[in-house]
Amino acid sequence: MATTKTRKTSLVSPRTESIVREALEAAGCRSTAQRAAVYGYLEKVESHPTAEEVYRAVRREMPRISLATVYKALEALVESRLATKLTNGDGAARYDCRGEDHYHLRDVATGEIRDLGVEFDPNLLAKIDPALVDKLAGSGFQVTGYRLEVLGRFER
Ligand SMILES: [Zn+2]
């Protein structure tokens, strides 16, 4: 009978681990168990956590991980396009590992972000102004996409 290796973390499935390893290596980043664990956590939660929140959660599984390691892991995940960094002025950046285009709700008081459960409309800019993309191209700005955040307050 084959012996199974003890997993270092319960945060990550073998499938997730190989997705993360391949993407990190393709981007020239080092693939580590910590980076896989950080991705595993991002994938599991809907809350678009800050680096501090990721750190507090992953530390439960990997008590020796440092906040600096979590920051570096998040940077590597962004660099390898496994995650997106959502910045907001001087508030803490939040991280999202959902790859496809989607909209967000943002709590203006806490900075908390959740996904808005409606389908992404690739033609929304044309609905605002059918000539907008061409006008911008004419003025030297090539549109590559757009983001939409609905602002408000989550009720506690
Ligand atoms: Zn999102």
Is the per-residue pLDDT at 128 higher than 70?
A: yes
If you average pLDDT over residues 129-139, what whole number do you get? Answer: 97
* 61 alpha-carbon distance from chain centroid: 20
Helix axes 14-26, 33-44, angle to 10 degrees: 120
Number of helical (H) and strand (E) elements in the chain, helices listed first? 6, 5
Distance 133 CA to ligand 1 centre (A): 25
Q: Which helix (H) or strand (E) holds 128?
A: helix 124-128
Predicted confidence at residue 75, as pLDDT, reads 97
Distance 57 CA to ligand 1 centre (A): 19
Confidence of residue 10 (pLDDT cuts 50, 70, 90): low
The CATH fold of domain 100-156: Dna Ligase; domain 1 (3.30.1490)
Beta-bridge partner residues of 96? 84
**From CA 71, how far away is CA 24, in angstroms rounded?**
15
> How is the chain split into domains, by residue range?
1-99, 100-156
Distance 104 CA to ligand 1 centre (A): 6
Distance 94 CA to ligand 1 centre (A): 10
Distance 60 CA to ligand 1 centre (A): 24
Is the per-residue pLDDT at 25 higher than 60?
A: yes
Q: How many angstroms separate the Cα of 120 from the Cα of each of 68, 103, 104, 140? A: 34, 7, 11, 26
Is the per-residue pLDDT at 108 higher than 50?
A: yes
Predicted confidence at residue 90, as pLDDT, reads 74
The CATH fold of domain 1-99: Arc Repressor Mutant, subunit A (1.10.10)
Predicted confidence at residue 5, as pLDDT, reads 47
Is the per-residue pLDDT at 7 higher than 70?
A: no
Single pTM value for the model: 0.81
Is the per-residue pLDDT at 2 higher than 90?
A: no
Distance 111 CA to ligand 1 centre (A): 13
Q: How many CB atoms lie within 10 A of CB 127?
A: 9
Predicted confidence at residue 9, as pLDDT, reads 47
> Is residue 84 within 8 Å of residue 78, measured between CB atoms?
yes
Paired tokens of 88: 């907001």
Among 48-52, 72-76, 97-101, 143-147, name the one with the lowest average pLDDT. 97-101
Paired tokens of 152: 């408000």
Distance 85 CA to ligand 1 centre (A): 10
> Is residue 58 within 8 Å of residue 41, measured between CB atoms?
yes
Predicted confidence at residue 122, as pLDDT, reads 93
Is the per-residue pLDDT at 65 higher than 50?
A: yes
Distance 69 CA to ligand 1 centre (A): 23
If you average pLDDT over residues 56-68, what whole number do you get? Answer: 96
Distance 100 CA to ligand 1 centre (A): 9
Distance 113 CA to ligand 1 centre (A): 7
Nearest to 82 by CA among 94, 97, 70: 97
Q: What value, to the nearest 5°, has the Cα angle with vertex 74 and ends 73 and 75?
A: 90
Is the per-residue pLDDT at 151 higher than 60?
A: yes
In the chain, pLDDT over 70 holds for what percent of residues? 93
